[in-house]
Chains A and B, each alone.
Chain A
Amino acid sequence: MLTCFNVQETHYFSNTVHYCRSSMPRLSQTHPSIGLTDEQKDFQKVAFDFAANEMAPHMAEWDLKEIFPVEAMRKAAQLGFGGIYVNPDVGGSGLSRLDTSIIFEALSTGCVSTTAYISIHNMCAWMIDTFGNNEQREKFCPDLCAMQKFASYCLTEPGSGSDAASLLTSATLQGDHYILNGSKAFISGGGDTDVYVVMCRTGGKGPKGISCLVVEKGTPGLSFGKKEKKVGWNSQPTRAVIFEDCAVPVINRLGAEGEGFSIAMKGLNGGRINIASCSLGAAHASVLLARDHMCVRKQFGETLSNSQFLQFKLAEMATKLVASRLLVRQAAVALQEGRPEAVSLCSMAKLFVTDECFSICNQALQIHGGYGYLKDYAVQQYVRDIRVHQILEGTNEVMRMIIARSLLTES
C-alpha cells in the first residue's frame, strides 16, 4: 500500500475511485501558497488537485512498469499544462515563469518524473514559439500545447555533455535540406516523442557554429537507441537519438544559422527553474511524509516526534525548503522580467535547490528508517527521481561555472 500523502478519501467517496480530494495539509509555515496572488493560488490548486487525483495514485506503477503516461499528460494538456508559458495565439496558456514554477512544484508532488517530462515538453514548445517564424509556430505549437504531439530536447551527445558547445552532430546544407549525421545521448522521451528540437553544427567550431533544427519522427535516417534503464525518471523513456544521412528541410530551422546554441541556452534558463521547481515539490511531499511518519512511529515508548534530534532535523528540512522556494521564485521573476541577472539567478536556483531538496528527501527517507527503503513507501521514489536533477539541464558544477563567470566579469 503506497503511502501517498496527498491522496485523501472520506467515507463519502469510497464508491468513487476517482474522486480524491487534494489539499495540502496545512503546514502553514511551509505551505507553498504563501505570498501568492489569488489567481496563482487558483493555478496551484488545479495543479495540486490534478497531481493528487490523476498522478499520485499511479506514480509507483508508472515507475515500476516504466509507463510513459500519455493519457494522463493529455488530460493535463486539456487544463493548459502543455504550453504553460507559450503564447495563447498558438494554443498556449500565456502564463508567467513564476506561475509556471508554482504549477510544476504542485504537479511534482504527484509524480516527479512525469512532471519533469512535461516541463521539458513545455521548454521545447516555448523555443519553437519564441524563436520560430509564424509558419513554424503554427505548424508545431498547437499540437504540442494540446499534447497531441510530444517533444524532446536534443543537445547532449556521447562526447559532449557539460562541454555542450563542442557537439559534433553535423548538418550539411544540400539544396533546401540539411543532412544530419551524428547522435544525441540521454534524450528524455526519445523514441516515443514526435518532435525533436535538435542542436547541430551547421558552421565552424564552438557555439557560433551551432543551429537549431526541428526534426519530426518518421523522417528517414532518424532512429533511436535502446531504452536506457535508469535509477529514476522511469515514467519517461530515455534513448539515444541517431541521425544517419537524415534530411531535414531548411524551413525547420529555428532562427538563423549560428543562433542554435543561444536558443538552447535560453531554453535552459527556464528549464532550470522548472527542474528546480520539480525538486521543490518532491521535497515538500517528503517533509510532509516524514512529519506524518514521526507522528505515528513509536520507539523507546514514544513517538519519534518526541525526539529532539528528529525535531531539529525536521525543522532544518522545512527551513531549507522555504529558503529554496524563495530562491526559485525570485529567479523566475527575474527571468520573466528579462533582468540581466536572470541567467545567474536561474543557475543559482538550480544549483542550490536541486542539492538542498535532494538532501531533504534523503533525510526524509532516513527518518522513515527501514520502511523508507521499501518501494511501498513513496519517499524512496522522490529520492530516486530527483537525484538526476543535480545532473541534467546543466550539472551543478556547470552552474558554478556560470555563476563564477558572471561574478568575475564586469558587464
Chain B
Amino acid sequence: MHRSSEVKHVASYLNTRGCECFGQPCESHCPVLTDRTIHVQLKTFIKIRVKPDRTGVVTDGVKHSMNPFCEIAVEEAIKLKEKKLVKEVVAVSCGPQQVQETIRTALAMGADRGIHVEVSGKDYETLGPLQVSKIFAALAKKEQADLIILGKQAIDDDCNQTGQITAALLDWPQGTFASEMTLEADKLKVVREVDGGLETIKINLPAVVTADLRLNTPRYATLPNIMKAKKKKIANVKPADLGVDVCSRLEVLKVDEPPQRQAGVKVETVDDLVGKLKEAGRV
C-alpha cells in the first residue's frame, strides 16, 4: 500500500466524489454510493460559476442529487438481491446532512439500509477519491462486504479513481466500466467497455466493480417503496470512527473557466485553408 505524495497542481477541481458499493454475494451485499454531485446536467439551464476567489465552483443553491452512474450501481445491486444472489444491499454516502436524501432515494429503489459517513464543512470541500476510498475500504472490512459496486465516475469531477483506489487499498480484484456482470458461485464475470471494444474478465470475490452506462436502466422508486424507505435505517458514522484521516494531500491552486471560444475564420479556397493551417503551425 502506498501513500500518494503531496501533489500541487492546477486543476478544475470540482468536488471529487466517486460512488462505491460494497457487498457480499453469499451473505450480504451492499452497494455503497456517495453523493456530492454538483448537478452538472443543469448546465443546460444553470451556468456553473467559478467562485470569485477561484478556489472552486459555486455550489450554494445548486441542486444535488445521486450521481447517475451510482443510480446504475444501486440498480444492479438491487437486481442481484431480487435474483436472490445476495442477501443485503447497503447504500453508503459520504458528505454533509443533505446526502441522506440521496441515501433515501437508494432505499426507495430497494436498498435495505444506509450508512451516512458524516463529512462536512472544510473537510467536505477537500474530500477526494483517496479519502473516500480509505473510508470505503474501512467500511468494507467492518461490514464484511464481499462485493462493492460503484458508479465508474462522478459526473462533477470525472475523476474515475475511487473504485480503483478502493480495490487497491483492499487488495481486491476490480472490474471497471462494467456493462454486464454475472455472479457465478464465488466468481464474478464482468464485461468491460474498453477503447477497443468489450473485454470479458472473471474475477474472484471479494471484488470491486464500477458501473458504466449500459449496465442497466435504473428503476423509478415506486410510491409504496418510498413509504417503506421511511422505516429503513440510516446509520451515522464519522471518518474518525473508521480510523480514517480525511485530510487532503492536494491543494487546489486555482480554478478557471474554460477559455472563451474564439471566433472562426472563413476562407475562400482550399489553398487559403492550408495557408492558415500552416500559419497556426497545425501542418
Hey, which bits of chain A sit against chain B, CB under 8 A? Answer: 5, 8-10, 12-13, 15-16, 18-19, 21, 23, 25-26, 28, 38-39, 41-43, 45-46, 49-50, 78-81, 84, 88, 93, 95, 292
Q: How far is the CB of A14 from chain B (nearest CB, A)?
A: 10
User: Which 8 A/B pairs are nearest by Cβ-Cβ distance?
Assistant: A80-B223, A25-B45, A93-B223, A42-B226, A79-B222, A8-B41, A21-B41, A26-B63
Question: Interface size (B, Cβ < 8 Å)?
Answer: 29
28 interchain pairs (CB within 8 A)? A8-B42, A10-B40, A10-B155, A12-B68, A12-B155, A13-B213, A15-B213, A16-B213, A16-B214, A18-B217, A21-B41, A23-B39, A25-B46, A26-B63, A39-B226, A39-B227, A42-B108, A42-B221, A43-B223, A43-B226, A46-B220, A46-B221, A46-B223, A78-B222, A79-B221, A79-B222, A84-B223, A88-B224
Q: Are B220 and A49 in contact (CB under 8 A)?
A: yes
Given contacts A21-B41, A23-B41, contact A12 B213 (CB under 8 A): yes
Contacts of A79 in B (CB 8 A): 220-223
Q: B248 at the A/B interface (Cβ < 8 Å)? A: no
Residues of B at the A interface (CB closer than 8 Å) are: 39-42, 44-46, 61-63, 65, 68, 101, 104-105, 108, 155, 213-214, 217, 220-224, 226-227, 229-230
Within the complex, the shortest CB–CB distance from A249 to chain B, in Å, comes to 33
Cα separation A84 to B227 with both chains bound (whole Å): 13
Nearest B residue to A103, CB-CB: B223
**One of B42, B226, B229, B230 near A23 (C-beta < 8 A):** B42
**Chain A: minimal CB distance from B48 (Å):** 12
**How many pairs, one residue from A and one from B, have CB atoms within 8 Å of each other in the complex?**
77
Q: How far is the CA of A139 from the CA of B42 in the complex (A)?
A: 46
A48 CA / B217 CA spacing, docked (Å)? 17
CA distance A95 to B46 in the complex (A): 33
**B101 neighbours in A (Cβ, 8 Å):** 38, 41
Contacts of A15 in B (CB 8 A): 213-214
User: Whole-angstrom distance between the alpha carbons of A39 and B100 in the complex?
Assistant: 12
The residue among B65, B104, B221 with the most chain A CB atoms within 10 A of its own CB is B221
On chain B, the residues within 8 Å of A13 by CB distance are: 68, 213
What CA separation (Å) do A95 and B104 show in the bound complex? Answer: 18
User: Is there contact, CB below 8 Å, between B104 and A42?
Assistant: yes
- Residues from chain B with Cβ under 8 Å of A18 in the complex: 217
Q: Give chain A residues whose Cβ lies under 8 Å from the Cβ of B39.
A: 23
Q: How far is the CA of A95 from the CA of B222 in the complex (A)?
A: 12
**6 extra interface residue pairs, beta carbon distance < 8 Å, beyond A41-B101, A46-B226:** A21-B68, A45-B105, A46-B222, A49-B220, A79-B222, A88-B224
* Contact A28 B61, beta carbon cutoff 8 Å: yes
Is A10 a contact of B41 with CB atoms below 8 Å?
Answer: yes
Residues in A neighbouring B217, C-beta threshold 8 A: 16, 18-19
Cα distance A273–B226 in the bound complex, in angstroms: 23
Asked if residues B224 and A26 are in contact (CB atoms below 8 Å), the reply is no
Least Cβ–Cβ distance between A96 and chain B, in angstroms? 11
Bound-state Cα–Cα, A38 to B68, Å: 21
B105 and A23 contact, CB distance less than 8 A:
no
Q: Which residues of B contact A88 (CB under 8 A)?
A: 224
Indicate which residue in A12, A23, A28 contacts B65 across the interface (CB closer than 8 Å): A23
Query: In the bound complex, what is the Cα–Cα distance between A15 and B193 (angstroms)?
Result: 14
A42-B105 contact, Cβ under 8 Å, with A13-B68, A26-B61, A28-B61: yes
Q: Which residues of B contact A292 (CB under 8 A)?
A: 45
Contacts of A43 in B (CB 8 A): 223, 226
Q: How far apart are A339's CB and chain B's nearest CB, in angstroms?
A: 24
Contacts of B224 in A (CB 8 A): 80, 88, 93
Query: Could you tell me the distance between the alpha carbons of A5 and B45 in the complex, rounded to whole angstroms?
Result: 9
Given contacts A25-B46, A26-B62, A49-B220, whether A39 and B230 have CB atoms under 8 Å apart is yes
Would you give the shortest CB distance from B193 to chain A, in whole angstroms? 11
Closest to B69 in A: A12
Contact call A8/B44, Cβ cutoff below 8 A: yes
Chain A residues whose CB sits within 8 angstroms of the CB of B221 once the complex forms: 42, 45-46, 79
A28 to B155, CA, bound (A): 23
A52 to chain B, nearest CB (A): 11
Closest residue to A291 on the B side, CB-wise? B45
Q: How far is the CB of A174 from chain B (nearest CB, A)?
A: 43
Chain A residues lying within 8 Å of B62, measured Cβ to Cβ, are: 26
Q: How far is the CA of A364 from the CA of B143 in the complex (A)?
A: 54
Residue of A nearest to B100 (CB): A38
- Shortest B17–chain A CB gap in Å is 16
Count chain B CB atoms within 10 A of each CB in A39, A81, A88 and give the residue with the most.
A39
**CA of A302 to CA of B41, assembled, Å:** 27
Contact A26 B46 (CB under 8 A): yes
Q: Which residue of B lies closest to A26 (CB)?
A: B63
Asked, given contacts A23-B63, A23-B65, A26-B42, whether A95 binds B213 with beta carbons under 8 Å apart, the answer is no
| Residue numbers in A under 8 Å from B229 (CB-CB) | 42
| Nearest A-chain residue to B212, judged by Cβ | A12
> Which B residue sits closest to A15, measured CB to CB?
B213
Contact A80 B42 (CB under 8 A): no
Q: By the criterion CB–CB under 8 Å, are A80 and B105 in contact?
A: no
Decide: A50 near B41, CB < 8 A? Known: A12-B213, A26-B62, A42-B105.
no
- Bound-state CA distance A88–B217 (Å) is 28
Cβ of B41: which chain A residues have Cβ within 8 Å of it?
8-10, 21, 23
Q: How far is the CB of A146 from chain B (nearest CB, A)?
A: 12
Cβ–Cβ < 8 Å partners of B105 in chain A: 42, 45
- Expressed in whole angstroms, the Cα–Cα distance for A5 and B229 within the complex equals 30
Q: Which residues of A contact B42 (CB under 8 A)?
A: 8, 23, 25-26
Distance in angstroms between the alpha carbons of A88 and B224 in the assembled complex = 9
Name the A residues within 8 Å of B104 (CB-CB): 38, 42
Chain A residue numbers with a CB within 8 Å of B40 are: 10
Nearest A residue to B72 via CB reads A19
Specify which of B40, B220, B223 lies most central, judged by the most chain A CB atoms within 10 Å of its CB: B223
Could you tell me the distance between the alpha carbons of A49 and B61 in the complex, rounded to whole angstroms? 20
